[in-house]
Amino acid sequence: MTIQNKKLFIFDLDGTLVDTAPDFKNSINYMLNELNESEVSLEEIRNWVGYGARELIRRTVVDKNIPHDEQRIEEMLKIFLLHYTHNIDDDSVLFNNVRNVLEFLKDNGIKLAVCTNKMERLSNILLEKLNVLHMFDYLVGGDSLSKSKPDPFPLLNICEKLNTEISDSVMIGDSVTDLNAGKGAGMPVVLVSYGYTDNKDIYNEADLVINDFSQLKELVN
């Protein structure tokens, strides 16, 4: 499947555009401290990111054998979100070359969108604080629609909203969630190797794997 000269680039957020794991760790550990539980490491958090805040908490409590039910998960989520919302960009930064590549793509008339499982409100806040929100034509969060990644529906919604054919679009992400969403939508998938997945086997199924965001420039003639 060709990936050259696409009109629409759709990006995952956490682990693709922004290194958010440090702030996830800070807020998860704040929550754990409130519960008198031991903290988690940055490496553990990196392997749990990509499925939304609720799933991040679920993976944390399962890994640490913390007794829980759905009501308890909701209580933990409130603690986490209260801290994370107020500290969302304390340690989060754009990955290398993200800003200049986004500017390059915009200058070349390419539409840009974000498809993330992060809550839409938090995604907008983070990208605004990092001064790149204005570069994107559309953003879909994990709570924006009735379905989220790995379902292809959010990607199809983005193509429809931006009046762009699926064949003229490409998904850029770092995880199996992004891979399955892109493949399910019928568009090529570029995976970044610097992201949060610990499943390197998925690289064999991607149309392209890049080690640096600047390599995306090579897809534009």
The string of pLDDT tens digits covering residues 164-213 is 999 999 999 999 999 999 999 999 999 999 999 888 899 999 999 999 99
Decide if 12 is catalytic: yes
Q: Do 162 and 64 share a structural domain? A: no
Taking the C-alpha atoms of residue 198 and residue 8, their distance in angstroms, rounded to an integer, is 28
Q: Which amino acid is at 193?
A: S
Lowest mean pLDDT among 34-48, 101-115, 135-149: 34-48
Whether 106 has a pLDDT exceeding 90, the answer reads yes
The pLDDT assigned to 32 comes to: 95
Q: Do 41 and 148 share a structural domain? A: no
Query: What is the rounded average pLDDT of the residues 49-77?
Result: 89
The pLDDT assigned to 221 comes to: 77
Domain boundary among 31, 56, 86: 86
Domain boundary among 48, 70, 86: 86
- Of 12, 14, 174, 178, which one is the catalytic site residue? 12
Q: What is the CATH number of the domain that holds 51?
A: 1.10.150.240
Taking the C-alpha atoms of residue 173 and residue 169, their distance in angstroms, rounded to an integer, is 13
pLDDT, averaged across the chain? 95
Does residue 3 lie in a domain region?
Answer: no
Taking the C-alpha atoms of residue 209 and residue 174, their distance in angstroms, rounded to an integer, is 9
Would you call 8 helix, strand, or coil by DSSP?
strand
The pLDDT assigned to 47 comes to: 85
Confidence band of 52 (pLDDT split at 50, 70, 90)? confident
Whether 101 has a pLDDT exceeding 80, the answer reads yes
Contact status, residue 83 vs residue 31, Cβ threshold 8 Å? yes
Q: Which domain holds residue 62?
A: 21-86
Taking the C-alpha atoms of residue 180 and residue 175, their distance in angstroms, rounded to an integer, is 9
The pLDDT assigned to 87 comes to: 97
Does residue 1 lie in a domain region?
Answer: no
Q: Minimal CA–CA distance to 7: which of 149, 106, 100?
A: 106
Does residue 37 lie in a domain region?
Answer: yes
The pLDDT assigned to 50 comes to: 77
Q: What is the CATH number of the domain that holds 180?
A: 3.40.50.1000
Q: What total of structural domains would you count in the chain? A: 2
